[in-house]
């Protein structure tokens, strides 16, 4: 099927960060033309006159199935938050995991996210629900010490089994998750890294999210978490370290030498009051690939990447007393092309270029908050003024999952109605 998106402003996010005026043509799953007017016939025509076409955004750290737990652990101290979440997590069913996944996917696709990196258990259930939703899941099965888990069986073996079952599924990239050094001993961490290397799977893990985590690990091992992971050979180019807020410059240098990515989650860290601000300028200076994550709906309460871009930029500027750090173009990079690199798909997604998958978002050019629209201010308007309500149409790998603001892949009323029942069954205890 040929799809032609006509007469749009195209924020390509290509290597030159070009902004073009013209058409985007898709043949099946992939982009075949960007910019010039398409004179051929198309099976599907989308009039995007005056609208902005941008790449689908990539959320590199979340826990999508927790979307039905929204609002149950707000305004708690971090230890109390963890205690309550662990109790709820231990009693979840496949049904509410699937429902939570669909609810979270609905929120993400309505907000212009076409790929997300998840860290949770029961990723097989999450994968099936994600396929129904129609966006792409990089799903990292949570691996931790067996004595610390409620999973049935060995978590690393569960991860391996999941990878074997889903490695050839469309829009599903099975990955390896590490909960964090606080529940993962050396054998667990090394085993997870060895499996990631063996099959070429991405690996997502929590790193240095809190000062307590860092201090406890240093007392236990004599090293800070990133130092210890580097020492045992776990840092590497497929690793995506979430949070990464309590790091020394020595650790940042180690992460850069290892070719790592980080997924910074500013809204979650601020809401949980865990302190620390991720050293974004230093990451970039040391060759660490910076991407952006929302974390889950229990810690952030939203999976909105527009909000996350803006929050990250404001936090960094305020914290550094420097309005020039994390400029608008860099923030958009974090949410698109850098996110693609983090999940190992920079050759396939993250920008609007010939040969890449058609992961495309169309923003309403008539929205007052995005006007005036000019090439000179377009990226800044997307980052600092845009929001999820501006999203009109979303394509993931050539499939339209949102059309004129309406989700096309799921029975939204059924999901929404079921979410309250799921919340009551999980959270009213």
The enclosing H or E element of 20 equals strand 19-27
Neighbours of 133 (CB within 10 A): 24
Dist CA 399 CA 396 (whole Å): 5
pLDDT band for 83, please (50, 70, 90 cuts).
Answer: confident
Dist CA 49 CA 23 (whole Å): 10
Q: Cα 163 to chain center, whole Å? A: 19
Asked whether residue 152 carries a pLDDT value surpassing 90, the answer given is: no
Dist CA 138 CA 127 (whole Å): 9
pLDDT band for 167, please (50, 70, 90 cuts).
Answer: very high
pLDDT at position 147 is: 86
**What is the pLDDT averaged over residues 56-71?**
94
pLDDT band for 413, please (50, 70, 90 cuts).
Answer: very high
Asked whether residue 82 carries a pLDDT value surpassing 80, the answer given is: no
Neighbours of 163 (CB within 10 A): 22
Three state DSSP letters for 278-305:
CCHHHHHHCCCEEEECCCCCCCCCCCCH
pLDDT at position 415 is: 95
Domain(s) of CATH 3.20.20.140: residues in the chain: 57-342
Chain segment 311-330, per-residue pLDDT in tens: 999 999 999 999 999 999 99
Q: Cα 274 to chain center, whole Å? A: 20
Q: Per CATH, the architecture of 2-55+348-405 is what?
A: Roll (2.30)
pLDDT at position 281 is: 98
Dist CA 216 CA 281 (whole Å): 27
| Percent of the chain scoring above 90 in pLDDT | 88
Question: Which alpha helices (DSSP H) does 134-279 contain, by range?
Answer: 155-166, 186-199, 211-221, 225-231, 249-257, 266-271
pLDDT band for 74, please (50, 70, 90 cuts).
Answer: confident
Domain(s) of CATH 2.30.40.10: residues in the chain: 2-55+348-405
Asked whether residue 70 carries a pLDDT value surpassing 90, the answer given is: no
The token pair at 341 is 């690199």
Average model confidence (pLDDT) across the chain: 95
Asked whether residue 429 carries a pLDDT value surpassing 70, the answer given is: no
The token pair at 152 is 């049935």
> Are the C-beta atoms of residues 190 and 233 closer than 8 Å to each other?
yes
> Are the C-beta atoms of residues 145 and 116 closer than 8 Å to each other?
no
Dist CA 317 CA 327 (whole Å): 9
Asked whether residue 89 carries a pLDDT value surpassing 90, the answer given is: no
Selected from 3.20.20.100, 3.40.50.12780, 3.40.50.1980, 3.20.20.140, the CATH number assigned to the domain covering 57-342 reads 3.20.20.140
pLDDT at position 79 is: 78
| Percent of the chain scoring above 70 in pLDDT | 100
């Amino acid at each position: 099927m040929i799809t032609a998106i006509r007469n749009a402003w195209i924020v390509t996010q290509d290597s030159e960060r070009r902004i073009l005026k013209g058409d985007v043509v898709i043949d099946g799953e992939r982009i075949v033309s960007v910019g010039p007017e398409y004179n051929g016939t198309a099976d599907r025509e989308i009039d995007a006159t005056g609208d902005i076409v941008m790449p689908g955004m990539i959320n590199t750290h979340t826990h999508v199935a927790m979307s039905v737990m929204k609002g149950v652990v707000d305004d708690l101290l971090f230890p109390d938050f963890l205690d309550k979440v662990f109790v709820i997590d231990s009693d979840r069913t496949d049904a509410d995991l699937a429902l939570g996944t669909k609810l979270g996917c609905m929120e993400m696709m309505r907000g212009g996210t076409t790929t997300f990196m998840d860290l949770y258990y029961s990723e097989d259930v999450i994968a099936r629900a994600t396929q129904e939703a129609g966006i792409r899941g990089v799903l990292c099965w949570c691996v931790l010490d067996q004595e610390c888990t409620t999973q049935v069986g060995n978590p690393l073996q569960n991860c391996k089994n999941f990878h074997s079952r889903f490695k050839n599924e469309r829009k599903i990239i099975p990955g390896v998750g590490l909960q964090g050094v606080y529940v993962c001993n050396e054998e667990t961490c090394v085993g997870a890294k060895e499996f990631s290397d063996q099959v070429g799977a991405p690996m997502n893990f929590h790193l240095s999210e809190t000062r307590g985590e860092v201090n406890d690990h240093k007392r236990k091992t004599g090293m800070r978490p990133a130092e210890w992971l580097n020492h045992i050979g776990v840092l590497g180019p497929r690793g995506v370290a979430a949070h990464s807020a309590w790091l020394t410059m020595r650790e940042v240098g180690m992460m850069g030498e290892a070719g790592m990515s980080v997924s910074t989650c500013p809204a979650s860290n601020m809401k949980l009051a865990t302190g620390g601000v991720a050293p974004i300028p230093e990451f970039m200076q040391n060759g660490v690939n910076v991407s952006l994550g929302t974390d889950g709906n229990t810690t952030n309460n939203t999976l909105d990447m527009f909000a996350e871009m803006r929050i990250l930029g404001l936090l960094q500027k305020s914290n550094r007393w420097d309005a020039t750090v994390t400029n608008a173009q860099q923030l958009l990079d974090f949410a698109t092309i850098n996110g693609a690199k983090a999940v190992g798909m920079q050759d396939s997604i993250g920008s609007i270029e010939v040969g890449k998958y058609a992961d495309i978002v169309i923003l309403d050019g008539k929205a007052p908050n995005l006007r005036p629209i000019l090439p000179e201010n377009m990226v800044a308007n997307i980052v600092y003024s845009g929001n999820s309500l501006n999203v009109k149409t979303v394509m993931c790998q050539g499939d339209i999952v949102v059309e004129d603001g309406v989700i096309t892949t799921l029975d939204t009323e059924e999901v929404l109605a079921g979410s309250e029942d799921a919340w009551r069954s999980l959270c009213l205890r």
